[in-house]
Structure 1
Amino acid sequence: MSTPQRSGPIATGVTDSALAGLRRWNIGLTVLHAAQAVAILLLGNGFAITVNSSFPTGPPGAAQPPPSSLVDVSIGAAIAVFLFLAAADHLLTATVARGIYESDLRRGINRFRWIEYSISATIMIVLIGFYFGLTDIGTVIVVCGANIAMILFGWLQERMNPPGRADTTMLPFWFGCVAGAAPWVAIVVNFVGAGDRVPGFVIGIFVSLLVFFSTFAINQWLQYREIGPWRSYAFGEKSYLVLSLVAKSLLAWQIFGGSLAV
């Protein structure tokens, strides 16, 4: 059940009809994400990528031992996890957490989005990194940290720019862009180093997901510059919903076609 409107300034465009429309979107996206997760699990093979470790065995500068296998990551299961996380987010915001969700939207914020993205988008960038050889445990941890920092800066951008503000700061946004670029720089280094040995479907993953990861930042920039329909916070929220569905679906099915199809 929707909560009463809070006192004080309300985010532009967050009307009762807009909230009702977003609830319908969240219900639909629950089904779409969950259905894709189940399909990946049922149709995919057991392909896994090994995360390696190479721990020092001598003083600084000493020759490093060959990397050893640390853990095999099931790619199908990892895809299903980020799809199920998205489904859970949309289900919560459409049902038991609807009141909190809608109250937050009126304040120009969506905590559920940032919590979900901090996990699901991090799994996604780690998987992309895997396909470009970023499989050392230390590298994986750093990629996770940089991506989570990017997401948290996005959350901070909303917290620091409530409705009715006298001016807008974009500082958290730009800090997040710097943090979020780091994993992609590492991916590009390996991409260039591999030359023409990168499979076509992996190049497709790189191009499409780089574009869609960037559009999330563009969406937030347009929101806080209040350009065109992005003056409405509800429009920006719906844009996040669409971008999230498309990005997750693209990654899931490109990996499926290249690695998981039986």
Structure 2
Amino acid sequence: MNVTATAPNATGITTERLGNLRRWNIGLTVLHLGQAVAMLLLTNAFAIGVLSSFPDGPPGTKGLTTTTIFDVRIGWAIALFLGLAGLDHLLTATFARKVYERDLGRGINRFRWVEYSISATIMVIVISLYWGIVTINALIVIAGANVAMILFGWLQERMNPPGRTSTTMLPFWFGSLVGITPWLAMTANLFYVSDAPAALFAILIVQGLFFFCFGLNQWLQYRGAGRWANYAFGEKTYLVLSLGAKSLLAWQIFAVSLAA
């Protein structure tokens, strides 16, 4: 059954599929919020300082002055991005269900992009902190690049509604170009590390692959490849990727630093 009669409906958005997605959103609400609570109960006080470096005199005459401006409690940051994901799934399964399902029929999910722009950015900042990118200036740029990538993903959906006669991938490629920069910044430090624990490399590799898979999922959707020609299948894949990326990062970080 079509969700809307005034415009072409995205493929696969039927009453049965929407009911299945609602059950998934309820399940992911429980899993994300449960993990957020567990993280707050189990975590220790481990924190990483964020620094500010600024010139102390005319350029080229003196070195930089560096000072710690605040500390990031890593356990709290992880609980925050898990909690935001849980809130998103709760809203789309309950209070905002009608808006969510109507949007899916139009081939878009605004809730996804708003939540990702905050939660995924927190995730990237945490990974960056672990890889030695700790100045406030660099973290602001990394956050901006990640938010831009996600908003380009939103624009990709907005510019390619169901029933279109042609598909543009420009927002996707622009987002990919911007979104890869935080990962290039982190991998640049690979040339200088000497005795970093193996777990740090695992975090970088696993999360880098997950972030790549989010982009791949959207690319497959707009190429109409196999099951991805069904918009509902792509939406469920986003749900699975979100759960996997956030859960693995949370417990990878917990194993490295947060076990009380």
- Common topology (TM > 0.5): yes
Amino acid aligned to 1:41? L
Structure 1 residue aligned with 2:154: 155
For each residue in 1:200-243, what CA deviation from the matched residue of structure 2 results, as whole angstroms up to 9, or x when unmatched?
11111011001101000000000000000000000000000000
Structure 2 residue aligned with 1:82: 81
Deviation at 1:56, TM superposition (A): 1.9
Pairing of 1:173-188 with structure 2 (within 5 A): 173-188=172-187
Deviation at 1:29, TM superposition (A): 0.1
Show structure 1 runs of 4+ deviating over 6 A: none
| Contact 1:30 1:86 survives alignment (8 Å) | yes
- SS of equivalent to 1:118: helix
The question of 1:136 aligning with 2:127 is answered: no
TM-score by length of structure 1 reads: 0.97
Amino acid aligned to 2:243? L
| Contact 1:6 1:103 survives alignment (8 Å) | no
What percent of counterpart residues are identical?
A: 61
**2:19 and 2:176 mapped to 1: Cα distance?**
32
Amino acid aligned to 1:259? S
**1:241 and 1:63 mapped to 2: Cα distance?**
51
Structure 2: state its 5+ residue gaps.
Answer: none
Structure 2 residue aligned with 1:68: 67
Pairing of 1:1-262 with structure 2 (within 5 A): 5-194=4-193, 196-262=194-260
| Contact 2:3 2:101 survives alignment (8 Å) | no
| Contact 2:43 2:259 survives alignment (8 Å) | yes
Deviation at 1:191, TM superposition (A): 2.2
Deviation at 1:116, TM superposition (A): 0.1
**2:34 and 2:27 mapped to 1: Cα distance?**
11
Amino acid aligned to 1:187? M
Structure 1: state its 5+ residue gaps.
Answer: none
Deviation at 1:80, TM superposition (A): 0.4
Deviation at 1:246, TM superposition (A): 0.2
- SS of equivalent to 1:206: helix
- SS of equivalent to 2:55: coil
| Contact 1:220 1:236 survives alignment (8 Å) | yes
Amino acid aligned to 2:46? F
Which deviates the most, 3-12 or 229-238?
3-12
For each residue in 1:88-115, what CA deviation from the matched residue of structure 2 results, as whole angstroms up to 9, or x when unmatched?
0000000000000000000000000000
**2:212 and 2:3 mapped to 1: Cα distance?**
35
- SS of equivalent to 2:58: coil
Deviation at 1:59, TM superposition (A): 2.1
TM-score by length of structure 2 reads: 0.98
Deviation at 1:186, TM superposition (A): 0.3
Which deviates the most, 227-236 or 51-60?
51-60
**1:63 and 1:251 mapped to 2: Cα distance?**
40
| Contact 1:26 1:91 survives alignment (8 Å) | yes
